[in-house]
Amino acid sequence: MINLTLLGATGSIGQSTLAVVDLHPEQFQVFAISANTNWQDMVKLCAKYKPKYAVMADENAATQLSAQLQNDTTVLSGASALEMIAEHVQTDYVMAAIVGSAGMASSLAAAKAGKRIMLANKESLVLAGDIFMQAVKDNNAELIPVDSEHSAIFQCLQGGTSGLSKIQLTASGGPFLHTPLDELDTITPEQACAHPNWSMGRKISVDSATMMNKGLEVIEAHYLFNLPHNQIDVVMHPQSIIHSSVYFNDGSTLSQLGNPDMRTVISYAMSYPQRIDSGVEALDLTQNSPLEFYVPDFEKFACLRLAFDALKQGGSAMGTINAANEVAVAGFLDNKIKFLDIAKIIEKTLTQSAHHFPTTLAQVIDNDQSSRAIANEIMLSYA
Ligand SMILES: NC(=O)c1ccc[n+]([C@@H]2O[C@H](COP(=O)([O-])OP(=O)(O)OC[C@H]3O[C@@H](n4cnc5c(N)ncnc54)[C@H](OP(=O)(O)O)[C@@H]3O)[C@@H](O)[C@H]2O)c1
């Protein structure tokens, strides 16, 4: 029986993970779960899965949860408790599915404890990629990507990297692939969150609409597959059927295809190197033709260009764009700024932030906080 610790249990990835667990109760057991404030859903999850630990990042939410529980689950709160369940000796696999930089420390704790980390929290790599990858290496942790593109590349590289010339991440283009640039200024958070293919949390949905999500994935791919920016390519593919491709110097291209459903990616991470039923319907190519591909428009999707810029700069630049993006997306979701302001705020923050090469988590966090402060200041002039 494999003990799972599920960081971000109430989120979209958390729910899909539990759906896979439900299909394989003989193989997986939920050892610990976490959320931020949503104690109401945690009450239901504790009743159903009876985990040993339930952690709320928010202290008040932990008090509420504790008051509602009638089983033996231990309720804890705060960042140190998240790290504790990630590195716990009884934890076998950690699903790192907290959204944003709040997920970084617990993912790192899992890496330091040598766990299998099923990594959905891309911020762990975007902010602290060098530190994180070193911890994985030093502690023989197992890192399995939980992002459809990186899982696709990971699957395509199972035969090795001999002759690898480039990897190519596919991008759906989100809801505004065919929307002209001048019409993007008036769109609402609801429109931005209505992704045509994937059902996701609100923050990542906006990131998909701006293509910052793809930009962060480019950075993630750089670390996961140890490739420079000029061996990482992006192609627009609105159907989200080809999840990514790998190109070799003999003219071969390998791609992984499937219906767009994160349960495939999650079940692969849970069962690797085997495969198990994920509950996802088999792909029927005849129902999805034609498959379309376009070159990305770096002017319209300025966030994608900014992510490549940050990757080229390296070091703190990647954490800076991530912090600025989190601030700007929250501002957009709160109706404080317009959709196109997101990229403008990120670009200005990148220009105004000091550039350095962090070697400790404290420096990463420092950069994250100072970048947020700068981004918040800049955002005032757009509000
Ligand atoms: N959704 C996808 O299809 C997808 C695909 C690939 C990668 N990812 C990545 O996976 C991660 C999770 O995405 P998601 O779509 O599942 O997000 P989501 O639906 O917004 O869920 C986020 C989870 O994190 C918890 N959380 C939020 N803020 C927290 C904090 N400060 N401290 C501790 N926990 C916190 C939430 O708890 P509450 O419910 O209490 O707020 C929730 O359980 C992100 O990094 C995203 O980029 C997602």
CA dihedral (300, 238, 308, 264) positive or negative: positive
- How far, in Å, is the centroid of ligand 1 from the Cα of 13? 7
36 lines ligand 1 (CB under 6 A): yes
What pLDDT is stored for residue 100 in this prediction? 84
Domains of the chain as residue ranges with CATH: 2-145 (3.40.50.720), 167-259+293-380 (1.10.1740.10)
- CA separation for the pair 342, 351 (Å, rounded): 15
Among 213, 186, 183, residue whose Cα is nearest residue 198: 213
* Beta-strand pair 242-248/253-257: antiparallel
313 lines ligand 1 (CB under 6 A): no
Assigned token pair, 215: 């930009």
Q: Whose CA is nearest to atom 29 of ligand 1?
A: 36
Assigned token pair, 146: 């939980």
Bridge partners of 257? 242
Among 7, 12, 10, 30, residue whose Cα is nearest residue 98: 7
**Is residue 383 predicted with pLDDT exceeding 90?**
no
**Is residue 86 predicted with pLDDT exceeding 90?**
yes
Q: Whose CA is nearest to atom 33 of ligand 1?
A: 36
pLDDT tens column, 145-189 = 999 999 999 999 999 999 999 999 999 988 899 999 999 989 999
Cα 322–Cα 328–Cα 334 angle in degrees, nearest 5: 140
What is this structure's pTM?
0.93
* Beta-strand pair 93-96/116-119: parallel
Pocket test for ligand 1, best of 15, 98, 122 (most atoms within 8 A of CB): 98
pLDDT category at 202 given cuts 50, 70, 90 is confident
If you average pLDDT over residues 324-345, what whole number do you get?
Answer: 96
If you average pLDDT over residues 110-128, what whole number do you get?
Answer: 95
pLDDT tens column, 332-341 = 999 999 999 9
- CA separation for the pair 193, 183 (Å, rounded): 16
What pLDDT is stored for residue 76 in this prediction? 98
Number of H helices, E strands in the chain: 15, 11
- 200 dihedral zone (left: phi>0; alpha: psi -120 to 50; beta): beta
DSSP for 211-266, written as a single string: THHHHHHHHHHHHHTT--GGGEEEEE-TT--EEEEEEETTS-EEEEE--S-HHHHH
321 lines ligand 1 (CB under 6 A): no
105 lines ligand 1 (CB under 6 A): no
pLDDT category at 244 given cuts 50, 70, 90 is very high
Strand order in the sheet with 74-77: 74-77, 53-56, 28-35, 2-7, 93-96, 116-119, 142-145
DSSP for 321-349, written as a single string: HHHHHHHHHHHHHTTSS-TTHHHHHHHHH
% residues pLDDT > 90 (the chain): 91
What pLDDT is stored for residue 101 in this prediction? 84
If you average pLDDT over residues 1-29, what whole number do you get?
Answer: 97
**Is residue 199 predicted with pLDDT exceeding 70?**
no
If you average pLDDT over residues 293-318, what whole number do you get?
Answer: 96
**Is residue 31 predicted with pLDDT exceeding 80?**
yes
pLDDT tens column, 91-109 = 999 999 998 889 999 999 9
Whether the bond into 290 is cis, omega within 30 of 0 = yes
User: Which atom of ligand 1 approaches the CA of 36 most closely?
Assistant: 40
What pLDDT is stored for residue 49 in this prediction? 97
- CA separation for the pair 215, 175 (Å, rounded): 17
Mean pLDDT score of the chain, rounded to an integer?
95
What pLDDT is stored for residue 70 in this prediction? 84
If you average pLDDT over residues 312-330, what whole number do you get?
Answer: 96
- CA separation for the pair 191, 183 (Å, rounded): 12
Q: Whose CA is nearest to atom 13 of ligand 1?
A: 99
